[in-house]
């Protein structure tokens, strides 16, 4: 009964993609790399890639489902921030009206600086910034996009490599340790620096202001207002915005 059976071997027809998949062992690897860069997946993987690691999240406080959120520079989606996450160059963090966050960054010297994000605050970590009123790029690693932040670091540091630069709108100020509050309102184009200890230096085209403990500097549309003593009302307002249990 098998004498008249003819066995025909036909070529296997497949798509170029299928052929590439079987021919190249790199394709699964490339696909996995692509998936890791998708929103939510890449974020949780916690790798900066070719971006500079700036700091990490050391504490979060959320109330009534108002989360602390992070948006990676490679993503367009805001995700819930978790304690211990690494912050890379270009990443953004934000809080709501009933949430807070604490991040820790290091100046070029490696000295740690704690930054508390107040209510409804938003910051961006950046590696270098230059242009505008600055004549050269400054190593500003914190851009206050909106709201109040508190900076805490070592005092008595004369080493320029230990300076932390903070941008509020068009102005970049140097934080020399101690404790200071920075507030930026992008709608009014107004910034406030309140220094409790240490000092902050803000440079402008025609002048440089040094803010000493117990003083504040108001910056309106890029122009400095003379340094004034800190009123208890202003201090309580700023401190209340950045309190964490």
Question: Which pLDDT score is estimated for 27?
Answer: 44
Q: Which residues pair with 32 in a beta bridge?
A: none
- Sorted by where each starts, the structural domains of the chain and their CATH numbers stand as 12-45 (no CATH), 49-241 (2.60.120.1440)
Contact predicate 173/234, CB 8 Å:
no
Q: How confident is the model at residue 235 (pLDDT cuts 50, 70, 90)?
A: confident
Residue from 116, 56, 126, 46 nearest 84 by CA: 56
The dihedrals phi and psi of 2, each to the nearest 5 degrees, come to: -95, 0
Q: Which residue has the higher pLDDT, 31 or 201?
A: 201
If you average pLDDT over residues 33-61, what whole number do you get? 62
Q: How confident is the model at residue 241 (pLDDT cuts 50, 70, 90)?
A: confident
pTM of the model: 0.73
* DSSP, residue by residue, 143-185: EEEEEEEEEEE-SS---GGG-EEEEETTEEEEEEEEEEEEEEE
21 DSSP assignment: H
Model confidence at 36: pLDDT above 60: no
Contact predicate 205/219, CB 8 Å:
no
Question: Which pLDDT score is estimated for 230?
Answer: 85
Model confidence at 3: pLDDT above 60: no
Model confidence at 70: pLDDT above 90: yes
Which residues in 226-235 are b (16+ Cβ under 10 Å) and which e?
ebeebeeebe
Lowest mean pLDDT among 10-19, 90-99, 197-206, 234-243: 10-19
Contact predicate 103/140, CB 8 Å:
no
Question: Which pLDDT score is estimated for 165?
Answer: 83
Question: Which pLDDT score is estimated for 194?
Answer: 93
Q: How do residues 152-165 score in pLDDT, each as one tens digit?
A: 987 655 555 556 78
Model confidence at 72: pLDDT above 60: yes
Query: Mean pLDDT in the chain?
Result: 75
Question: Which pLDDT score is estimated for 40?
Answer: 35
If you average pLDDT over residues 127-154, what whole number do you get? 68
Q: How do residues 180-231 score in pLDDT, each as one tens digit?
A: 999 999 999 999 999 998 889 998 888 889 999 999 999 998 889 887 788 8
Report d(CA 152, CA 155) in Å as an integer: 9
Q: How do residues 80-103 score in pLDDT, each as one tens digit?
A: 999 999 988 889 999 998 899 999
Model confidence at 18: pLDDT above 60: no
Between the alpha carbon of residue 56 and those of residues 48, 96, 126, 198, the distances in Å are: 12, 19, 13, 24
Report d(CA 112, CA 105) in Å as an integer: 6
**Percentage of residues of the chain with pLDDT beyond 70:** 69
């Amino acid at each position: 009964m098998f004498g008249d059976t003819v066995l025909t071997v036909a070529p296997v027809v497949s798509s170029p993609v299928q052929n590439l998949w079987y021919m190249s062992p790199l394709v699964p690897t490339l696909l996995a790399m692509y998936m890791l860069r998708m929103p939510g997946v890449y974020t949780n993987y916690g790798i900066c890639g070719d971006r500079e690691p700036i700091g990490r999240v050391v504490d979060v406080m959320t109330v009534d489902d108002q989360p602390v959120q992070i948006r990676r520079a490679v993503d367009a989606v805001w995700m819930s921030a978790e304690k211990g996450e690494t912050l890379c160059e270009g990443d953004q963090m934000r809080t709501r009206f009933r949430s807070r966050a604490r991040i820790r960054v290091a100046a070029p010297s490696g000295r740690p600086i704690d930054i508390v994000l107040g209510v409804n605050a938003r910051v961006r970590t950046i590696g270098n910034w230059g242009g505008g009123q600055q004549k050269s790029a400054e190593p500003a690693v914190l851009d206050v996009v909106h709201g109040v932040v508190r900076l805490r670091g070592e005092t008595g540091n004369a080493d320029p490599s230990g300076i932390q630069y903070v941008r509020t709108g068009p102005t970049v100020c140097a934080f020399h340790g101690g404790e200071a509050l920075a507030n930026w309102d992008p709608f009014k184009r107004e910034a406030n620096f309140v220094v409790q200890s240490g000092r902050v230096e803000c440079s402008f085209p025609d002048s440089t202001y040094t803010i000493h403990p117990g003083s504040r500097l108001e910056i309106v549309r890029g122009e400095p207002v003379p340094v004034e003593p800190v009123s208890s009302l202003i201090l309580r307002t700023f401190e209340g915005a950045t309190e964490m249990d």
